[in-house]
Amino acid sequence: MNIGLRKINFGVISVVMFIISPFIALIALIAKLFKVDIHNLDPLKKRGPYSSYLVSKWLGNSGSAQHNRTFSIFLMPSLATFSLFVIYTFINGVYLSMTNWNGLNTGHELFVGLSNYVSMFNDYGFVYSLYKTILYSLLNIFAINIVAFFLAMLVTQNLKLKNLYRAGFFLPNLIGGLVLGYIWQFIFNRAVTSLGGSFATSLLVSGDTALLGLIIVVTWQYAGYIMMIYIAALQNVPQDLIEASKIDGANAYQRLRTIIMPLVAQAFTVSMFLTLVTSFKQYDTVMSLTNGGPGTLLPQWIASLFGLSALPAVSSNNLIALNIYQEAFSRYQLGVGQAKAIVFFIFLLSVSLLQVYYNKRKEVEL
Amino acid sequence: MKKSWLRKTFTPLLLLEILGFTLMLIFFVPLVLVIINASKDAAEIIRTPLSLPTDWSNLIKNITEIMTRDNIDYLSAFVNSFVITIVSLILIGVLSAMAAWMLVRTKTKYSFVIFMFFLAGMVIPFQVVMLPLVRLLENLRGLTGIPFKDTYHGVILAYIGFGTPLSVFMFHGFIKSIPIDIEEAAIIDGCTKPQVFFKIVLPILKPVFVTMLVLNGMWIWNDYLLPVLVIGLGGDVKTLPLSVASLAGFYDKEWALILTSVLMAALPVLILFLFAQKHIIKGMTSGAIK
């Protein structure tokens, strides 16, 4: 028989054995209760090439067979669940994004090629949502990182209660985004408006300011967390460099600009990456704060892209993660929703790679 | 004379101290508002949302209300959240530590490929797989006859799938730094591989294990999107975020009860934070930096 073909077959057999070994182990365990060792196979017995491979590599009592079995038993539980729930669903998702799946025809949906992708970009609501997500992410990255860096600078000074402040600033981050959204909905709509005067209308009522409300909530939640990353970086800045710059007559701003900032650039890379990814994926706070609303008019420039003369109404805080969810579960366009999710994934991946690449160039090694 | 006294007392450091303290108080305002408004009745909360409650006993009244009304049922939501979080955490921890250890200690191209496979899973956001996930759970029911949606095991399996990559990655990095000599000595003394792992390696992994518990624990406890898809707002094994969301959706603007349930949902984590503050902060940030 062809040796090359046999090698391929051995490869296939070992993958199969890798997958089913945990089940064999279960049988072996039960057999052991009845004092039977199913792996007790005579290694010297004359066998064909395949069965001798199976015995020596998987089923027998040899060291290599035992190792292969433990390898499989240790890896399979997590690998199998992970493959099923993440990898399989992802690949399935790529296929489903090219079907007319609408929730009712599950199992009978038809392949429609790329038409979901085309129709998605013909939908001004989606383009608006993409634009709002990018705008939100940019503003959010700035707000969170500036506040977090400022807080980190503050609590790395020689303050008496600095540990208390750190814990205090970190605290909002422990509460889930959904719960926070409701808390702030109350604050914006009830507590602040009860002050009257120029506070009488809530930020969340108008489409122009609702995004600002969301940024306030998320900054409050996330700044303390990012602060911790900056604290770790600031504490690694060597004190002698600071001392040397003081002797050379640098003022506080110059020290910050030319010594501290370059040395904590790595923390900026990490923090901006984290804030970028969380802003893009933000779902629960957006949902609970305004559920995508309030309604507003489509901006003129997007309307002119689509050649619309009258400005249609859109939801001002309908960020992309929420838009995907609503497309799937309110409009029952699961295929289109999935296509949006794939675009979202590709977009997020490229933007974050670009951001990390760009930031990395500014880092300084000590 | 007066000026020098001022300068001596209000040093820049003291000013910073005051600034820090004020900022912290501002950070606490939303939480304080939750507590004082959870102690008011429906009428008072509309009238004076910013003042202190006239009668603190309303807090007890509100708590008993959310505990006893069947469509809120805080207690069972708490139990569900607790069971799902704890079981998922233990399984994610042990299973991914097992996998990571095997991957580090077996130096073949297969283990490298499998590790890369896990890493690839880390870049996939949940939104991309959420619709196929719901479909998969329905299909699994068709294949096996066992329901997966709205059950403990369905949610827990999903959490294991999504929690594994990051945990494997974290354990992998740590195990690489453990010298192999200890394990070899144990093998010579007659330990089998599983014994080496459970008796020697797992105890050494304690610090990363704590990091992993904190990171995944905060995520699972507070998560909303996965439970709302897998369990649903009207499900049998509703978690705390789901029960808060269904209360806020159903009793529109019944703020006293919503804020009480918000307070009760946040309370377990806040209490835990008081006792394990160091571990929680370290766990959440060191996991991110890696």
Q: Where are the domains of chain B?
A: 13-61, 74-289
- Residue A39 in any domain: the answer is yes
A296 φ, ψ to 5°?
-150, 175
Q: Domain containing A148 — which CATH number?
A: 1.10.3720.10
The CA-CA-CA angle for residues A144, A149, A150, to 5°, reads 100
Closest by alpha carbon to A322, among A165, A208, A210? A210
The pair of three-digit structure tokens given for residue A185, joined into one six-digit string: 């909905």
Considering CB atoms only, which of A81, A270, A337 is closest to B164? A81
Same domain, A258 and A123: yes
Q: Distance between CA B42 and CA B52 in Å, rounded?
A: 14
For residues A88 and B136, the answer to whether their CB atoms sit within 8 Å is yes
pLDDT computed for residue A346 by the predictor: 93
- Per-residue pLDDT 10s for chain A (366 aa) are 567 787 888 888 888 888 888 888 888 889 888 888 888 877 778 888 888 888 878 888 878 888 888 888 999 999 999 999 999 999 999 999 998 888 777 778 888 888 889 888 888 888 899 999 999 999 999 999 999 999 998 988 888 888 888 889 998 988 888 999 999 998 988 888 888 777 778 888 888 888 999 999 999 999 999 999 999 888 888 888 888 888 888 888 888 888 888 888 888 888 888 899 889 888 999 998 888 878 888 888 888 888 888 888 888 888 989 999 988 888 888 889 999 999 999 999 998 888 888 887 877 665
Same domain, A132 and A77: no
For residue A34, give its domain range: 3-82
pLDDT computed for residue B100 by the predictor: 94
Q: Distance between CA A14 and CA A54 in Å, rounded?
A: 8
pLDDT computed for residue A177 by the predictor: 87
- Residue A92 in any domain: the answer is no
pLDDT computed for residue B168 by the predictor: 93
Per-residue pLDDT band at B252 (split at 50, 70, 90): low
Average pLDDT over every residue of B30-51: 83
Q: Distance between CA A253 and CA B198 in Å, rounded?
A: 54
Q: Which positions ≥6 away from B35 have C-beta within 8 Å?
A: B263
For residues B34 and A183, the answer to whether their CB atoms sit within 8 Å is yes
For residues B262 and B34, the answer to whether their CB atoms sit within 8 Å is yes
Q: How far is A264 from chain B (nearest CA, A)?
A: 13
Bond before A294 cis per omega within 30 degrees: yes
Q: Distance between CA B99 and CA B224 in Å, rounded?
A: 28
The pair of three-digit structure tokens given for residue A331, joined into one six-digit string: 């409009």
Same domain, A74 and A132: no
> Is A179 within 8 Å of B135 when comparing Cβ atoms?
no
Per-residue pLDDT band at B288 (split at 50, 70, 90): low
Percent share of chain B, pLDDT over 70:
94
For B179-222, what is each residue's pLDDT tens digit?
Answer: 888 888 988 988 888 889 999 899 999 988 988 888 899 889 99
Lowest mean pLDDT among A153-162, B64-73, B118-127: B64-73
Interface of B with A in 30-89 (CB under 8 A): 30-31, 33-34, 37, 45-46, 48-50
Q: Distance between CA B285 and CA A318 in Å, rounded?
A: 30
Closest by alpha carbon to A140, among A278, A345, A317? A278
Q: Distance between CA A279 and CA A351 in Å, rounded?
A: 12
How many structural domains comprise chain A? 2
Helix (H, G, I), strand (E, B) or coil at B107: coil
Average pLDDT over every residue of B119-126: 88
**Cα dist from A221 to A272, B3, B27, whole Å:** 16, 41, 9
pLDDT computed for residue B289 by the predictor: 55
Residue B62, Cα to own-chain centre: how many angstroms?
Answer: 26
Architecture of the domain defined by B74-289: Orthogonal Bundle (1.10)
Q: Distance between CA A314 and CA B201 in Å, rounded?
A: 56
CB pairs under 8 A between A and B: 246
For B172-185, what is each residue's pLDDT tens digit?
Answer: 989 988 888 888 89
Q: Where are the beta strands (DSSP E) in B22-110?
A: none
The CA-CA-CA angle for residues A93, A95, A99, to 5°, reads 105
The pair of three-digit structure tokens given for residue B26, joined into one six-digit string: 């501002």
pLDDT computed for residue A196 by the predictor: 77
Considering CB atoms only, which of B95, B136, B193 is closest to A78? B95
- Residue A290 in any domain: the answer is yes
pLDDT computed for residue B287 by the predictor: 62
Interface of A with B in 219-238 (CB under 8 A): 220, 224-225, 228-229, 232
Same domain, A271 and A198: yes
Taken in order A118, A122, A123, A127, is the CA torsion positive or negative? positive
Closest by alpha carbon to B127, among B246, B216, B239, B226? B226
The pair of three-digit structure tokens given for residue A55, joined into one six-digit string: 């015995």
Same domain, A71 and A122: no
**Cα dist from A134 to A138, A176, A313, A326, B285, whole Å:** 6, 23, 20, 19, 26
Average pLDDT over every residue of B68-91: 88
Lowest mean pLDDT among A205-219, A235-249, B48-62, B263-277: B48-62
Q: Give A315's DSSP letter.
A: E
Same domain, A13 and A122: no
Same domain, A43 and A132: no
